[in-house]
Amino acid sequence: MANSPAVRVRGLTKRYGDKVAVDAIDLDIPSGQVFALLGPNGAGKTTTVEILEGYRDRDGGEVSVLGEDPQRAGRRWRYGIGIVLQEASDLSELTVLETVRHFARYYPDPRNPAEVIADVGLTEQARSRVRALSGGQRRRLDVAVGIVGNPRLLFLDEPTTGFDPQARRQFWELIRSVVQERGTTVLLTTHYLEEAEALADRIAILVRGKIVADSTPASLGGRAEAKAVVSWSDNGEERSLESDDPGAVIADLTARYGGTVPGLKVTRPSLEDVYLKLIGSEGP
């Protein structure tokens, strides 16, 4: 059970009229991993996730989520699934506590609502009406509703869109803490590269309905194999060298300068460079 993938997708295709939104993609998400589906707006991320969540029907391909086809799965399948919606403005007149308590009732083995509220940092707002929450607090509540059923698989669809950088970092902390503790599998979609890098064990990049890369953040787009650039300053003049073995270059330089190399820097292509290249190569 632990080793069977939480999500397995083969040749998933979805069309809207003539437009192919998702074009024969394959995905494997092992249990316990945080998987990020990264891509520009309109790449097909939400369509893909909504098919896996059972919200939309696919036009082709095979999909297995927690061992079942979301298009046919019943109520019990949903016990294992938690969904954090991309945008929701419902529940406004209820309090945070009423909301989380109510959603806990839908599950046979829910978590303690008060504890979930504490986990997402809303204890002080537990008796506030949902309409009085700030945008960030509102998303925390959405997470609370998503995890109160004790899901094995959590979907987060563009969870931090519209957040300021500080709120975004706090939200990442929250996701890390609620996920790591329980080994929950997470499928995250985002158009923020930083977010994928901060949270994910594995990243797939979706561009115009196709997966253009799928690997760990460190090796995405051949990043691990790319040459490193060693740069330093030689009497105020910037020097640099590309190398497969930056360690040797540095040892060399250290010997040459008899100790500290002035202004030494080693860089690899940043994830952003790789990402821009990947989406650029498919660009218009």
Partner 1 sequence: MSTVDSPRQPAPLKDPSATVLGLHRGVLELKSFFREWDQVVFTFALPIVLLALLGSLFQGVYEGSTVTAAQYLVPSMIAAGVASATFVNLGIGIGLDRDDGTLKRLRGTPMPRSAYFLGKVVMVLVISIAEVVGILALGVLLFDVTLPTDATRWVTFSWVFLLGVVACSFLGIAASSLARTGRSVSAVMNLPYVVLAFVSGIFYTPVSALPEPLARLGAVFPLKWMAQGFRSVFLPDTILPQEIVSTSWEHGRTALVLGAWCVGGLILCLATFRWRGRRER
**Phi/psi-derived region of residue 59, left when phi > 0, alpha when psi is between -120 and 50, beta in every other case:** alpha
CB 263 within 8 A of CB 233: yes
H/E stretch holding 21: strand 19-29
At residue 248, the 3 state secondary structure works out as helix
Draw the binding track, 14-33, toward partner 1 (x: CB under 8 A; -: no contact).
Answer: --x-----------------
Among 8, 102, 210, 268, binds partner 1 (CB under 8 A): 102
- Residue 169's identity, in one-letter code, is R
Footprint (CB under 8 A) of partner 1, residues 149-178: 149-150, 152
Quote the least distance from Cβ 98 to partner 1, whole Å: 7
Q: Does 98 bind partner 1 (CB under 8 A)?
A: yes
Among 53, 158, 195, 197, binds partner 1 (CB under 8 A): 53
7-15, 81-89, 166-174, 231-239 -> range binding partner 1 (CB under 8 A): 81-89
Choice between 70 and 221, CB closer to partner 1: 70
In whole angstroms, the minimum distance from the beta carbon of 205 to partner 1 comes to: 25
Minimum separation from the CB atom of position 99 to partner 1 (A): 9
What single string gives the DSSP state of each residue in 86-133? SS----TTSBHHHHHHHHHTTSSSPPPHHHHHHHTT-GGGTTSBGGGS
Strands of the sheet containing 7-16, edge to edge, are 19-29, 7-16, 60-65
Separation CA 170–CA 28 (nearest Å): 28
Q: Residues interacting with partner 1, by CB under 8 A?
A: 1, 16, 53-55, 75-76, 78-79, 81, 83, 85, 87-94, 98, 102-103, 105-112, 115, 129, 145, 149-150, 152
